[in-house]
Structure 1
Amino acid sequence: MALKVLLVAGEASGDAIGAHLMSALRKQLRCEVSFWGVGGDLMRSKRMDKEIFRMEELSFMGLKEVFSRIPHFLRLKRRVVNAALGEKPDCIIFIDSNGFSGRVAKSLKHEYKNLHEPTPPMFQYVAPSIWAWKRPWHRSRRFANLFDSMLLLYPFEEPHWTELGAENTVYVGSPLLDNSALLSIRKDSVAGEQVRSRIRALYGVGQTEKFVALLPGSRTQEVSRHLGLFFEVLRQTSVSRALLPYASPVRSLIEDYCAKDKSIDVTLVPGGGL
């Protein structure tokens, strides 16, 4: 019988991490695994057997938009909770999107308690950035207690969580580097000029060309607000070439903008990272 894993990702970075996780679990577990839940194009490409809704429905930002979409947000939360109660997964893995993850996890604990049933193991992959918060204490501890374990991307995060009394954290590293040109660069520990040479060779940038990487974000609102400003700034410099990593939810938006504004020679880098 297949191991049933419910995955919930709400952003492009989570989609990339989720796709990597699906491949790794299928490779390492000695049993059949059935993945289902909420993801983007990358996770769908790794064969999700069932989708609750498209990840893009969770992609919004800014206080005004958040408040206006609270009813929609609550409906999505209910759909995930109902799906989990109906399908009875063997475990649930939330990826990034801490606000949505925490609310779904809290509701699930409440529902399973009312049903007098054990809550399936729940994991949070990518913890909140408490190291950047001014006063993270009580809110962070409550969040950590919702999950059986939190999987951390960076080694410096663990002491912060330990100080809060959270003993359920595990440092696993960032899988996004595994599909990056930076992986070989990191292993070789080469100097800055050698790093630039490798990137030039990988993306066809001339050795004497000046280039920059543009990072407008992975949400529609971010890209819409940032990309025009980025291009305007570049037009005022001597840089004529740009590398633009993009994530699947904003691919068409970025491609459309670059097709209309050809003042900068842009190389699109699929997958969301260099």
Structure 2
Amino acid sequence: MAAKIYTITSGKGGTGKSTFAVNLAAALAGLAKKTLLIDADIGMANIGLMLGLENSKITLHEVLADEANVADALYDGPNGLKVLPCGISLQGFKKADLSRLKDIIAEVSPNFEFIIIDTSTGINHATATSIEVCDEVLLVLTPEITSIADGSKMRAFSILLGKEVTGMVLNRTMPVHDEIYREKLVGALDLKIFEVLPEDVSIPNSIAGKSPVVTKYPYSEISIAMNRLAALLCGIKMPEPEEGKGQKKQKNEKKRIAGAKLSFSQSKK
């Protein structure tokens, strides 16, 4: 049975698209689903950096250049996730042949239940290729007018390629982006909001620690939302957290996040 393939895209940078892709894939794997995460942003790859795989010798670059087998470019990630990272060298970008992505997907698809593809932002050949090989497109937006406008263009672009955008994820939200705001957004884009993810300090802390937030801070608000979305895609109903116990764990998680120090922060003298 072939995997269900989701391409994660956005109209502009800064939406948290790659971070979202990493955490959605890790959440799916945490639900015991055989999941593969592919970094198809061949020019500005970040997933290897985010998961501590930046020194991998064989990556999607080499596979696309027909210099290596895809099996040799698969690495172990959190929760049993498999990761196909992309290299970060310009030479690797130059020799990569994106037309081979379809065949690579066809080769690995029977071995997984879900494949999450992180692609580049905006309208370009790399994004088009990633959209063409997927079953469904998930659009990551932030509540800014530029992100929303560009997201609308990305939806139209997907339709031109014969793929519908299944829904959107509203990321990096603040309390002001309430239900009334979201209803207006749904009306403007005519797209369902799958999940609303808050601006959360646990994200930069988890990136600095080269771990998904769903594994590093599992009781944070954003992790709970990511797991809820993964369950939705799997057709699983997540159990409601026990009142009191869940709140206590969330409170402790907030304290732990607040006390965490970014690896690149400078000490005060």
**Larger radius of gyration between Structure 1 and Structure 2:** 1
Q: Same fold (TM over 0.5)?
A: no
Question: RCO higher in 1 or 2 (8 Å CA, sep ≥ 6)?
Answer: 2
Q: State the TM-score, normalized to the length of structure 2.
A: 0.40
Q: State the TM-score, normalized to the length of structure 1.
A: 0.40
